[in-house]
Amino acid sequence: MESQNYLGIYLSKDSAAVVCLGLQGREHNVLNCFSVSVEQPQDQNPQTLVSLIAKGCTERELKFSDVAVAIDCSMFMQHSIHSEFTDQKQVASTIRFDTEEALATDISDVAIAFKIISSDQTGSNLAVFTTKQKLLSDSIIALQSNGMDPVTIEPDVGCLSRFILQNIPLPEDSHPLFALLSRRRGYLVVLSKSKTASVRTFLVSPSQDRNELLARQVPMTAAWVEGGQPVNAVKVFDSSGSVNYQGLNQRLGLEVTDIDLAAFAAKAPKGLADCADAVDFAIAYGAALSHLEKSQSINFRSDFMPYQGKKLRLEKTLKFVGISAALVMLALGLFLQTQLFKQNKPRAELRKKFEKDYSAVMLGAKIKSKENPVKKLEGELKRIESVKSGMSSITGEESVSAKLTRLFEAFNRCAAQTGLNIEKVSITDKSVNITGDTSNRQNTLKFFEAIKQSGLEVSASHYEAKGERDNFSITVIPKK
């Protein structure tokens, strides 16, 4: 599928290597690869070079969803800088200040990318890469004008390390140094146990003795790598084929073997027939793999001309659609509420119009459907009259004065014998609540018995001993 194809471009000032990868999850294979170069010095500009890349893609009918770019080491500089922070976001927010302080120069026209090499209590050691913003903007504009907006722009050393990590399997006890020599560049890569890479680069001239160069550079690089296991092997790829592996083995005192970069590239069509240099091919291949580790990639576009491709446009579109849908739902709710208000408006107007006329029957408790309202009112009226008269022949309810008379009789009957003390009496039309105390529990029970003898009933009681007195709280009602 087109959406699973990625284009990796290794871009230098006068040449470029292009690799198109088809990816399925973590699996990937080379669909096509080729190289282009600008022959005339006066034509060496990003627009001319990118036009050749676009022409090559069109001729080969390459289809891809994203583009990633690796820039040549001649187009950037690498620095070792210390940051006081260990968090990625905090480092990113202060990296420009730390870099300007370390370089002691104005970096307002510089684009920066970085990678955390190690962290401890004092902060982080960073590999910081800097390049001129104009050089970067010229390349981005040239690519965008040819329909290739790069998601990432990384240093070539990072992409080459990614190619090695993804494609070259190593035994558990192996800790090799990779020496990769192209036509014009040399790369020395050392992998740590944590699968991170330390890289050195240097220029290689056509007339230079590559055996002498490796004999000098390899020990220097092996000693430069901090921490981890010592280098125990050297794996060499030389695009010129001039390295004497047996002689180098004797001089370095390490096992020196050659590697075939093309053999590690999954199913490359026609080998590297259309690609001028295998090392350039490996760098472009590593650039195309950048989507596998976006959160860790050394991306210049994170600092300068941030990527605004179709993915971000899709995210913004989805956000806009979500907000629009919320507004539509809000408007629909307001419309329905307005319609409901219009439907209820005549009803509200009628209620307001007749409220005064019907207030007499509208107020009060609702009458049950099975009850006769007239009879209920007559019964309530007779009950009130009987209570006022002292004793109701209809309902059997006693007046308040009758209840108190009986209660006082009970008090007088046992007060002297029980040491009765009344603290509080609360009277309602249904019951009488009494709080007090006696000299002991037995006298409290005698008081309860006196109440019963007076024709009353203790419906609820609570008593407890406090000091030398027995406290009680009771509710008294007429006997049923």
Position 72: which residue type? Answer: D
The pLDDT-based confidence of 359 (bands split at 50, 70, 90) is low
| Tokens standing for residue 452 | 């019963």
What is the Cα gyration radius of the chain?
A: 48
Q: Is the pLDDT of residue 253 over 90?
A: no
Least confident range of 62-66, 73-77, 404-408? 404-408
Q: What is the predicted pLDDT for the residue at 395? A: 43
Determine the longest span between alpha carbons in the chain, in angstroms. Answer: 135
Q: What is the predicted pLDDT for the residue at 371? A: 61
Tell me: the pLDDT tens digits for 100-133? 999 888 899 999 999 888 888 999 989 899 999 9
Q: For residues 169-201, b (16+ Cβ closer than 10 Å) or e, as one string? A: eeeeeebbbbbbbbebbbbbbbbbeeebbbbbb
Comparing 466 with 390, which gets the higher pLDDT? 466
Q: State the helix-helix crossing angle for 245-252 and 210-224, rounded to 10 degrees.
A: 40
The pLDDT-based confidence of 337 (bands split at 50, 70, 90) is confident
Q: Which residues lie across from 473 on neighbouring strands?
A: 435, 462
Q: What is the predicted pLDDT for the residue at 293? A: 73
Q: Is the pLDDT of residue 392 over 60?
A: no
The CA distances from residue 52 to 7, 12, 35, 137, 143, in Å, are 15, 13, 9, 18, 11
Cα 154 from Cα 230, distance rounded (Å): 28
Q: Is the pLDDT of residue 411 over 90?
A: no
Q: For residues 269-290, b (16+ Cβ closer than 10 Å) or e, as one string? A: eeebebbbbbbbbbbbbbbbbb
Q: What is the predicted pLDDT for the residue at 191? A: 77
Question: Across all residues in the chain, what is the average pLDDT?
Answer: 83
**Domains of the chain, start order:** 2-168+260-318 (3.30.420.380), 171-258 (3.30.420.40), 398-478 (3.30.70.60)
Q: What is the predicted pLDDT for the residue at 466? A: 83
Instruction: Tell me if residue 399 falls in helix, strand or coil.
Output: coil
Over residues 71-92, mean pLDDT: 91
| Tokens standing for residue 406 | 């009986």
Q: Is the pLDDT of residue 397 over 70?
A: no
Least confident range of 161-175, 338-352, 368-382? 368-382
Instruction: Quote helix, strand, coil % in the chain, to nearest 5.
Output: 45, 30, 30
Q: What is the predicted pLDDT for the residue at 2? A: 47
Tell me: the pLDDT tens digits for 191-226? 766 666 778 888 888 888 999 999 999 888 888 775
Comparing 399 with 208, which gets the higher pLDDT? 208
Cα 106 from Cα 359, distance rounded (Å): 86
Instruction: For 312-378, give the DSSP string.
Output: HHHHHHHHHHHHHHHHHHHHHHHHHHHHHHHHHHHHHHHHHHHTTTTHHHHSSPPPPTTS-HHHHHH
The pLDDT-based confidence of 369 (bands split at 50, 70, 90) is low
